[in-house]
């Protein structure tokens, strides 16, 4: 009879309470689990041998039953504008990307939550790849650890903001994303403020309700809307056939926003599709009564898609119409286009 190798548990897939429970099953007190969890997220920790305040016998037991696996950084590309794209190779050979965006007062990491994407948005390269699989918590958190290490090695300003806007639909992988959020915001974990973390969705309305219940509005919510009506959104985003705009906005109204918080409405402007004055006016009417700010982004070219960005004048006019209706409207500049790191361009490919 062939014996199967014992399954090793990746501790970086676990929340603090799960690490504590794991240690208790091994016969150790809860405080050892809390010590262990804190070690998992100290900079530079790669092995149990480094955890010097844990007993040697305990460390040997951990080495035999658990792992500390993180995704491998396969390549880092730097854009002319300072943006960097990190290509990761996962244990099964699947590749994903995240994007590190430097700004004057912040360093933002755009984090992937799936390999590929099943949403099929016609303007997005990741959607054209199709869906490979969900990412585990360690594979989500691992992108943040890699970015943090990269910045520390350069003595650059630290990572300040996280946006779940990379490859994949975060709410289609909600359980793993929630576990990752708990690890990222745990004081013994990576200790990020929930106020600095944003989850974006293409419109999975029931999952927005679930995210609101689970996080009580502490996590920022962004909605990839991209159209002022169902007719246009049906063409751009297949998810709208299942959860049309009315259902999506109802979920947004029910989201438990803290005072002074607003939902971010993401709107990619595509020439001749959704960028007319009438579209801006309709968008303003559609969002009336919602606590939102609007983020406009001219379309980023994607291979095989015959869309184009509008002129700068058309973008400015669209923004002005929304301003006149009383909205806060931000114009997001595309970053990392020259390395295919801009919004909608991630494909998990090496540069050569």
Enumerate the active-site residues: 97, 343
- The secondary structure element, H or E, covering residue 66 is strand 66-67
What contacts 202, CB < 8 A, 6 or more positions away?
119, 121, 169, 224, 237, 239
DSSP for 210-269, written as a single string: HHHHHHTT-SEEEEE---SSHHHHHHH-THHHHS-HHHHHHHHHHS-PPTT--EEEEEEE
- Residues 47 and 209: their CA atoms lie apart, in Å, by 39
DSSP for 181-208, written as a single string: HHHHH-TTTT---GGGEEEEES--HHHH
Structure tokens at 262: 């607003």
Pairing of strands 84-89, 72-78: antiparallel
SS3 sequence of 306-325: CCCCCCHHHHHHHHHHHHHC
Query: From residue 94, how far is each of 46, 88, 91, 152 by CA, in Å?
Result: 22, 8, 7, 27
């Amino acid at each position: 009879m062939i014996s199967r190798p014992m399954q090793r548990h990746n501790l970086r897939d676990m929340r603090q309470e799960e690490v504590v429970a794991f240690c208790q099953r091994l016969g150790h007190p809860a405080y050892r689990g809390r010590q262990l969890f804190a070690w998992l997220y100290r900079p530079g920790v790669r092995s149990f041998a480094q955890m010097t305040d844990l007993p040697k016998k305990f460390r040997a037991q951990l080495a035999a039953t658990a792992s500390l696996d993180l995704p491998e950084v396969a390549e880092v590309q730097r854009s002319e504008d300072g943006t960097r794209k990190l290509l990761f190779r996962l244990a099964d050979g699947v590749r994903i990307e995240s994007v590190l965006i430097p700004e004057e007062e912040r360093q933002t990491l755009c984090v992937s939550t799936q390999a590929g994407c099943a949403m099929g948005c016609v303007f997005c390269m990741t959607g054209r790849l199709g869906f490979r699989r969900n990412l585990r918590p360690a594979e989500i958190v691992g992108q943040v650890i890699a970015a943090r290490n990269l910045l520390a090695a350069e003595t650059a300003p630290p990572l300040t903001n996280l946006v779940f806007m990379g490859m994949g639909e975060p709410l289609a992988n909600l359980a793993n994303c929630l576990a990752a959020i708990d690890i990222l915001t745990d004081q013994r974990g990576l200790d990020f403020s929930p106020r600095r973390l944003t989850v974006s969705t293409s419109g999975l309305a029931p999952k927005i309700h679930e995210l609101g219940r689970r996080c009580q509005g502490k996590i920022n919510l962004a909605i990839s809307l991209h159209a002022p009506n169902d007719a246009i959104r049906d063409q751009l985003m297949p998810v709208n056939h299942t959860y049309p705009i009315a259902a999506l906005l109802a979920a947004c109204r029910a989201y438990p926003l803290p005072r002074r918080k607003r939902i971010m409405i993401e709107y990619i402007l595509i020439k001749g599709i959704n960028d007319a004055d009438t579209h801006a006016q309709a968008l303003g009417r559609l969002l009336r009564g919602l606590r939102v700010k609007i983020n406009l982004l001219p379309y980023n070219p994607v291979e095989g898609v015959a869309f184009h960005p509008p002129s700068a004048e058309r973008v400015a006019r669209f923004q002005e119409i929304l301003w006149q209706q009383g909205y806060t409207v931000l114009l997001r500049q595309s970053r990392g286009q020259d390395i295919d790191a801009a919004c909608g361009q991630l494909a998990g490919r090496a540069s050569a």
